[in-house]
Structure 1
């Protein structure tokens, strides 16, 4: 597996990221299931433990270099901290906010990612990516349909979580320039898990058989989701992948129906249609850009 940044196949990156976000939506559904019984740090620790074990074994088999030798080791630590803050804020805000408010506020992240990709990565963001990003957010608002103003503190928590997640996706793109996907997964999840373990004396609850199965399943799904997303960032710029995150809302409603028999209202279907249309705009835009780049190279 190459550790270098490929950045020549944006459509491949979009496909990989879309599959990764589908996994993350399943992850959210599992956490929603478990959060009534277990505390967030314990759930996130078990998730991280599975990722560390799988990625660590694969790193050893493939002879990947240690993250300690990376020029981006400080960036990896920062990203782990941002992810920890984002997940803790997001899942704790879920205790006070309904799905509509929670989803609408959190999906400010892709727009923040576009802005950060300009400021930090110096990426050129074309009209197609802006249209897809703004259109996708409009679809989220329509689908979520907030019926009342959320509580101030949980709302602020969710917005900060969105900012931290957006910043962490920018750092994925940055670190991917030199580090392999497995190295990033191992280092980030190890730091993430150690931070969560500090709270065990106060929050640990020994899982029953069902709890162990759910937590291990969560870890496996999170491992696959992380791998797909990290690989996606090797092929496509962060600004191109930001609107793809909106597809996670569609998966969230699909999982909600499959697990809890939740039937979306008409506005959900309308919002989903707008999200799909925005994603298609993105695909067509990237396809046209890819063809133009090839023609210039051949000229």
Structure 2
């Protein structure tokens, strides 16, 4: 594949991942709503059930290869376990920690992705991606404005959740080289669902009509978000997509206002501006790479 085609695919991957993170921000808002009434494993089970039904049906219809024959099936199991622990740690720590502390600690994950992509994927990380990544983290700290020291155990849970998510992101990039998006989503969510169902005798609470609607909606949003993100990692290097995760913060502010009429403070707007600017730097860097590649290409 030519350099121009590769860079164009990277831009497409950035666009797909941006849409995925917008869905994930809405997903977090729905979980925040649900976690006040239901336990995290039950919420994750219902989310996983919807994903399994949709992706399993589509994978069978399009005759995608069975994940059981994949050489990466062990990697898929590992990634599913990492993501499950990340979700459980993150949403349970959210019950104790304030949003500012929580998001500041968790959004260390994109920087971890950059380092891990160098170590395990041997990706070359240019100055533009480093600038976008650190700029996004700086904007995150300004927007969150953590003024109190978090409790040690919930803070540690959140940091570990970020690390698990970073590791699973690297594994997505690795597995996406051979496995289809639908089969990855199906396998991961199936393992999620089985693990969460084990807890039902202790935590199950039959949802009311609103609870069912929110949980099914959560599954649909998660399905769309996962598909867009997985496709993004199919087209772009993990280090290029890491800074894009910060755009989820902007969407979180928008959803917070629409759902809870929450108006962010001035520092939040400043941080959001820096995050958006960092993402635009990333896009500009990738476009510059395309232009340079086109100039260098033989006529």
Same fold (TM over 0.5): yes
Compute the displacement of 1:7 (Å).
Answer: 7.4
What's 1:240 paired with?
240
What TM-score does the superposition give when structure 2 sets the normalisation length? 0.97
After superposition, residues 224-239 of structure 1 pair within 5 angstroms as: 224-239=224-239
Q: Does 1:279 align with 2:282?
A: no
Deviations 1:36-59 (A, max 9, x none): 100000000000000000000000
After superposition, residues 78-157 of structure 1 pair within 5 angstroms as: 78-157=78-157
Question: Residues 136, 32 of structure 1: CA spacing in aligned structure 2 closer, same or farther, 3 A cutoff?
Answer: same
What's 1:167 paired with?
167
Deviations 1:70-114 (A, max 9, x none): 111001000000000000000000011111000000000000000
Q: Does 1:51 align with 2:51?
A: yes
Partners of 1:114 and 1:238 within 8 A in 2: yes
Whole-Å separation in 2 of the counterparts to 1:297 and 1:7: 13
Partners of 1:7 and 1:235 within 8 A in 2: no
Partners of 1:20 and 1:229 within 8 A in 2: yes
Partners of 1:7 and 1:234 within 8 A in 2: no
The unaligned stretches of length 5 or more in structure 2 are 1-5
Compute the displacement of 1:170 (Å).
Answer: 0.5
Deviations 1:1-25 (A, max 9, x none): xxxxx77511111110000000000
Compute the displacement of 1:288 (Å).
Answer: 1.0
What's 2:21 paired with?
21
Whole-Å separation in 2 of the counterparts to 1:109 and 1:296: 35
What's 1:32 paired with?
32
Q: Does 1:42 align with 2:31?
A: no
What is the total number of aligned residue pairs between the two structures? Answer: 294
Which contiguous aligned blocks of 4+ residues in structure 1 show a shift greater than 2 angstroms? Answer: 290-299
Whole-Å separation in 2 of the counterparts to 1:99 and 1:178: 38
Partners of 2:140 and 2:271 within 8 A in 1: yes
Whole-Å separation in 2 of the counterparts to 1:287 and 1:185: 30
Whole-Å separation in 1 of the counterparts to 2:222 and 2:297: 38
Whole-Å separation in 1 of the counterparts to 2:61 and 2:222: 21
Compute the displacement of 1:184 (Å).
Answer: 0.4
Partners of 2:17 and 2:244 within 8 A in 1: yes
Whole-Å separation in 2 of the counterparts to 1:133 and 1:102: 19
What TM-score does the superposition give when structure 1 sets the normalisation length? 0.97
Q: What is the root-mean-square deviation in Å for CA atoms of aligned residues? A: 1.0
